[in-house]
Amino acid sequence: MPLDTSRDQLYFNEGAFAYAGYHRHHRVQPLHTHSFMEVAFVIGGAGVHQSLAGRQPLEVGDAILLRPGVWHGYYDCTDLELYNCCFSSDLLRRELMWTRDDPLLGYLLWTGPYLGQGYGMLSMQLDPGTLAECRRHLEALAALWHEPAGTHRGDIVGRLALLLSHLGRTVAGTDGHPLAAAGPAHPAVGQAMQLLEADPAHRWTLPELAGQLHLAPGYLVRVFKSGTGLPPMAYLARLRAETAATLLLHTDQPVTAIGRAVGWPDQNYFARRFKTHYGLSATTYRARFAAHATQLQPKLNLWPGELVSDVDQPSSG
């Protein structure tokens, strides 16, 4: 096992972009968070998943996708066996950018986790055949850890895409969400996302965003919501919250400066919006999840860049 994340919080620096590995938990893995995408697959044992959404009993075949910044933990574990797949936000916005326009994967990765009471997560139950296929791709990804990323990037991205396709079809089949049958999103949807992501601190307004795309504001709202389930300004709020969470975890910038950096210069407004997404104030979130930081050295000749670990010792609750 190349990394032990049973107690630590890991995040990717520039260059390192994907990881898959097996973990076994006894009793408790305390609340923690991370600034990358994660999918946890239950392949053995039992336990309880704790998050802002509450407590969820786990059984074999359960899979949980978590957006960056979401906090969670595992309790009452009885030989809980997980296969975790983690990949960076940079990878999602670069090599996997095409998934925005795919009805299934766009829902799975970009919008579904925040619809309703998702709180940045999607939970699903995989049938035995799908779980077996996912394990095959997870084991292949784990094996690729031992290969140079520079010559195996295509293999890694390909395996990850196959894995995510299984999850997208599962979510579409169980949730029956309307986006699955909607067809490709309007090109303006991806273009609007890219504009917002390129400068989240900008004081965006709907008329300005629509003007840059040469569309009427009302039409942009319709096509954006049709393709993502969210209006553009709601997507911007989510993007700002996730960016703020990463800065809180991995920088020592003051909370007020982070609010300004993500486009929420009013401290009270920043506090309200951040708590809406994560259930905690920005100050509490930082104190709970970024209080202790240590650095892990990467395996030589494997991934460019560094992997950094924040040792997370929050109070239970």
For the entire predicted model, the pTM comes to 0.83
HSE (side-chain half, CA atoms, 13 Å) at 258:
25
Which CATH number characterizes residue 45's domain? 2.60.120.280
Domain closes at, from 180, 209, 232:
180
Total domains, the chain: 2
pLDDT score of 220: 96
Q: Looking at this protein, which amino acid is placed at residue 138?
A: L
Helix axes 187-198, 232-250, angle to 10 degrees: 40
Question: With contact defined as beta carbons under 8 Å apart, do 284 and 274 qualify?
Answer: no
pLDDT score of 116: 75
- Please indicate, yes or no, if residue 285 is contained in any of the structural domains: no
Tens digits of residue pLDDT in 274-308: 999 999 999 999 999 986 433 323 333 333 333 33
Poorest-pLDDT segment among 1-10, 118-127, 151-160:
1-10
Contacts of 127 (CB under 8 A, 6+ apart): 61, 170
Say whether both 255 and 144 belong to one domain.
Answer: no
Say whether both 236 and 146 belong to one domain.
Answer: no
Range of the domain at 233: 185-279
- Please indicate, yes or no, if residue 287 is contained in any of the structural domains: no
The token pair that represents 286 in the structure block: 């930082």
Q: Which three-class secondary structure state does DSSP give residue 6? A: coil
Tens digits of residue pLDDT in 71-92: 999 999 999 999 999 998 888 8
List, in sequence order, the alpha helices (H) in the chain. Answer: 89-93, 103-106, 128-144, 149-175, 187-198, 206-212, 217-228, 232-250, 255-261, 267-278, 282-289
Domain closes at, from 133, 151, 180:
180
Tens digits of residue pLDDT in 211-241: 999 999 999 999 998 888 789 999 999 999 9
- Please indicate, yes or no, if residue 314 is contained in any of the structural domains: no
Distance CA 228, CA 284 (A): 31
User: Does the pLDDT of residue 10 top 60, yes or no?
Assistant: no
Say whether both 126 and 215 belong to one domain.
Answer: no
Residue carrying the six token digits 């003007």: 211
- Please indicate, yes or no, if residue 240 is contained in any of the structural domains: yes
Say whether both 159 and 143 belong to one domain.
Answer: yes
Question: With contact defined as beta carbons under 8 Å apart, do 3 and 135 qualify?
Answer: no
- Please indicate, yes or no, if residue 78 is contained in any of the structural domains: yes
- Please indicate, yes or no, if residue 174 is contained in any of the structural domains: yes
